[in-house]
Amino acid sequence: MLSIVTYYEYVHEHGLHLFTIPVLILAVLMVILLISHAVKQHKRSQAFIEAQKAMIGGPDEAAAAETGPAGPDTENTQTPDSPDTDG
């Protein structure tokens, strides 16, 4: 019975319960894990976006491939039915 009274007095004098320190340790660990996860996820996301752009060419390269380097392809105006004039 003496230990319960002693614990009661200790808790009310210092404001620390039996679970306070483990909860604080877990809270600090959770914050560290959250920050670590966010940083790693950001790096994975950036790597994925870069790999995706490399695979599909990205918007600039897709527009250039569609129109050609100097605009739309207008040099070859011959149709398959027209005669060959090269000789």
Q: What are the sequence ranges of the domains in the chain?
A: 19-56
Residue 28 one-letter amino acid: V
Residue 79 pLDDT > 70? no
Residue 67 one-letter amino acid: T
Higher local confidence (pLDDT), 13 or 85: 13
Query: What residues contact 45, with CB distance under 8 A and at least 6 apart?
Result: none
Model-level pTM? Answer: 0.47
Nearest-angstrom CA–CA distance, 37 and 31: 10
What is the percent of the chain where pLDDT is above 90?
32
Nearest-angstrom CA–CA distance, 46 and 82: 51
Q: What is the pLDDT of residue 70?
A: 56
